[in-house]
Structure 1
Amino acid sequence: MSRKGLHGLTAQLKDALILQALERRLQHVEQKGATHDTTQSDALVIPEKFYRFQLHPGYQQLRIMNDGGARLGVSNPFFKLHEGIAGATTLINGKEYLNYASYNYLGLSGHPAVAAAAKQAIDQYGTSVSASRPVSGERPIHRQLEKALAETYQVDDAVAFVSGHATNVSTIGYLFGPKDLVLHDELIHNSILQGIQLSGAKRLSFPHNDHAALEQILKNQRHAFERVLVVLEGIYSMDGDYPDLPAFVEIKNRYRAFLMVDEAHSFGVMGETGLGIREHFGLQGSDVDIWMGTLSKALAGCGGYIAGETALVEHLKFLAPGFLYSVGMPPSVAASSLAALKLMQQAPELTATLKTRGRLFLKLAQEAGINTGSSSGLAIVPAITGSSLTAARLAETLFEQGINVQPIIYPAVPEKSARLRFFISCLHTEEQIRQTVAILAKEI
């Protein structure tokens, strides 16, 4: 039996009449548009660049760079296929190269004990936890890793995220807002900048490693904001230098600000036993409010972590979108990073060897007149060329001679400071480093 609508019409008949009216209206608009230039039809004219990916400004810039390089005879140096474990050497297209393009600082990616831990975790827990951790993705190996990290930093707790970049974005983006101020070193990592943008906080940078400049900003600005966050890196990934952390701690205490240190490249590298910039300067874990690090460098895994007081960690675990709504870290990754952390603590000679090799590379490069910028020789040594084209050509020349190193070009760095960036590993031998610097000095 049909239900009655308005004016005694059935609902089905009413719907049919409305549909017919809409179809007639559409036909009328189409006919009118075909014969008249109307304001309505003009409004529907959208430039192609707003709905074609190939016309997106970023892609256009990429094409210009690639086409320009091709015309100058420089091949694309990126996305080389590594066919095995990338340590001091790597296999590309069936040929072995000296490798300075990976973060495997302590040689623990590929270590038998680390691989065994990952395999055991897969056998026990599978390849994925298949849910966010608050829902049903929590596994004992997650808590074991986080507890070990917290103990390493001498703080209450830690939380592990599935991405290092997302760790910074989610943490800063969630904890701070429009009434807050974030101050950062001018050379800070992109993930920090993305997190600040997400937060809506006001952003100000200060000159690289200049704590006096930071203090001046705080003198002028602190009173105008609720929360203030200062963000530094332990070792800066483009330059290989580090901040005077105790000076920054003293300033943040005086101005009642939070201090965050990104230890992506300093953990496993700095300190007598590799425990990072905190150990290097002999600081307490509580001296820094937010310790951040990645698992993909010295710890042979993938992802990031935040370590600090209970209130910080619990807050992020229950409410930060990048953790709450993300699948939990694969058990094999957590297990491999935990195994790497234990190996690092049991074998401080790995960090000691890394420091020796890095300082040798820096010394030889400086003696050869190579511009290494402000590098301290702790795992990262740039060879600054001053032009992106020169950097790309030099990387290609070295590759032809069996050395794999990546160019860092504009816009990742300013055009005048384009460079090759050498990542040193404890697996590199003294002979390999001497050979590399000799070839670099000749070709640069």
Structure 2
Amino acid sequence: MELIREAAGALGLENPFFRPHEGIAGATTRIGNRELINYGSYNYLGLNGDARVMRAAQAAIDRHGVSASASRMVSGERPGHAALEQALAAHYGVEAALAFVSGHATNVTVLGHLMGPRDLILHDAAIHNSCTEGARLSGARRIAFAHNDWQAAEKELATARRAARRALIVIEGHYSMDGDIPDLPRFVEMARRHDAWLMVDEAHGMGVVGRTGHGIHEHWGVDAREVDIWMGTLSKTLSGCGGYIAGNADLIAWLKHSAPGFVYSVGMAPALAAAALEALAILQAEPERVARVQRNAALFLRLAKEAGLDTGTSAGLAIVPVIVGSSVGAARLSQALFEQGINVQPILYPAVPDSSARLRFFLSSEHSEAQIRSTIDAVQAAMAGARPAEIPG
């Protein structure tokens, strides 16, 4: 870390990470007493800062304080926990759901607990770190297949399934690095054909994918009950913090009484549960927010392509990368844009291969067309002015 810091200093690069935001980070934010156009937030529908969401959180604080104070199994249960879980289950049309205190910990503890050394976990090569950590904890055999390649996945599963007691396929509904989506019907069919479970991480899908933001199953017209395990987070569209699992009642009852990350962890703060519940209600009542974020992302993607920028495989739903081609180039481009009043974070090696280092733009329903157009102009100008060896155009 020190070597990286010194190298960045020698190149005149500031640290783009851990900058303090001085207010609510939405389509704009304040950093260093400057207002910037902001593409560094998961506040997809602008609900973090919505007065109704904040009132719900404040009411929960007034009633229950700021903490659940204990494991829910021991003494930490609050009415808001059950209400949120019932609403999440209804959102997917499944039997039950369970909320965890951390999104990352949800995947780690559920995968680590559900699967074992005699089992197989087959996952997309671009799956989130929380899933790979959970798979590693489980001791199961772990096989990664080429990103979004269902044919490669089936080939791997057909070869390895017979030697495994149980098999689990893990994919994301909306990939956070590339902004693309999987062919869900293919994965459902594959899971049934090979007697495997299917788990979908919808952290970046809820509120973004599907006509009304219900997620990848709505996009493809698939009955949500065809997916065995739905996972998601509360920190993005739902403006809280934590994670959840939704599925059949037996799965949820078993996790509620045995998953280490639930049984031995403090319960979710009541205010966060209340905020997420209110945000979910707004999502369902105001689908025009979903239409706006999708429209903004589609515009950003179209303009970026017209400008000759490499946007990879993005579907243009809320996440659009601009692939730069080197970590130094991505860091320099991020800094140049920051100086022009645009906040967007670089994704550098080793998070991605150096050749696919990028800037990752998170769009929201609150961005204006003018902001999007001026941003594309700024990116295009900054890349055109860079030396080709630094920032390939």
| Shorter-chain TM-score range | over 0.9
Shift of residue 197, structure 1, vs aligned partner: 0.7
Aligned equivalent of 2:293? 354
Greater RCO, CA 8 A, separation 6+: 2
Instruction: Give the ranges of 4+ consecutive aligned residues of structure 1 lying more than 4 Å apart after TM superposition.
Output: none
Aligned equivalent of 1:319? 258
1:381 pairs, out of 317, 320, 325, with 320
Indicate yes or no: 2:245 matched with 1:306: yes
Shift of residue 188, structure 1, vs aligned partner: 0.5
Task: State the superposition RMSD in angstroms.
Answer: 0.5
Q: Secondary structure at the match of 2:268?
A: coil
Q: Secondary structure at the match of 1:307?
A: strand
1:282 partner letter: G
Aligned equivalent of 1:408? 347
Aligned equivalent of 2:195? 256
Indicate yes or no: 2:181 matched with 1:242: yes
Distance in structure 1 (CA, Å) of the matches to 2:312 and 2:219: 22
Aligned equivalent of 1:160? 99
2:225 pairs, out of 267, 270, 286, with 286
Distance in structure 2 (CA, Å) of the matches to 1:350 and 1:156: 27
Shift of residue 129, structure 1, vs aligned partner: 1.1
Q: Secondary structure at the match of 2:317?
A: coil
Matches within 5 A, 1:203-222: 203-222=142-161
Shift of residue 220, structure 1, vs aligned partner: 1.1
1:108-159 CA distances to partner (integer Å, 9 max, x unpaired)?
0000000000000001111111000000100110000000000010101000
Shift of residue 285, structure 1, vs aligned partner: 1.9
Aligned equivalent of 1:328? 267
1:426 partner letter: S
Indicate yes or no: 2:272 matched with 1:337: no
Shift of residue 278, structure 1, vs aligned partner: 1.1
Aligned equivalent of 2:67? 128
Aligned equivalent of 1:230? 169
Aligned equivalent of 2:6? 67
Distance in structure 2 (CA, Å) of the matches to 1:102 and 1:252: 34
Matches within 5 A, 1:69-218: 69-218=8-157
Distance in structure 1 (CA, Å) of the matches to 2:150 and 2:344: 33
Indicate yes or no: 2:210 matched with 1:271: yes
Q: Secondary structure at the match of 1:441?
A: helix
1:239-298 CA distances to partner (integer Å, 9 max, x unpaired)?
000000000000100000000000000110011111111111111121100000000000
Shift of residue 94, structure 1, vs aligned partner: 0.8
Shift of residue 99, structure 1, vs aligned partner: 0.2
1:136 partner letter: S
Distance in structure 2 (CA, Å) of the matches to 1:347 and 1:359: 20
Aligned equivalent of 2:391? none
2:360 pairs, out of 411, 421, 435, with 421
Shift of residue 177, structure 1, vs aligned partner: 0.4
1:85 partner letter: I
1:191-243 CA distances to partner (integer Å, 9 max, x unpaired)?
00000010000100111111111111122111100010000001110000000
Among the aligned pairs, what percent are the same residue? 59
Indicate yes or no: 2:335 matched with 1:435: no
1:293-342 CA distances to partner (integer Å, 9 max, x unpaired)?
00000001000000000111111110000000000000000000000000
Aligned equivalent of 2:389? none
Distance in structure 2 (CA, Å) of the matches to 1:245 and 1:430: 31
**Normalising by the residue count of structure 2, what TM-score does the alignment of the two structures yield?**
0.97
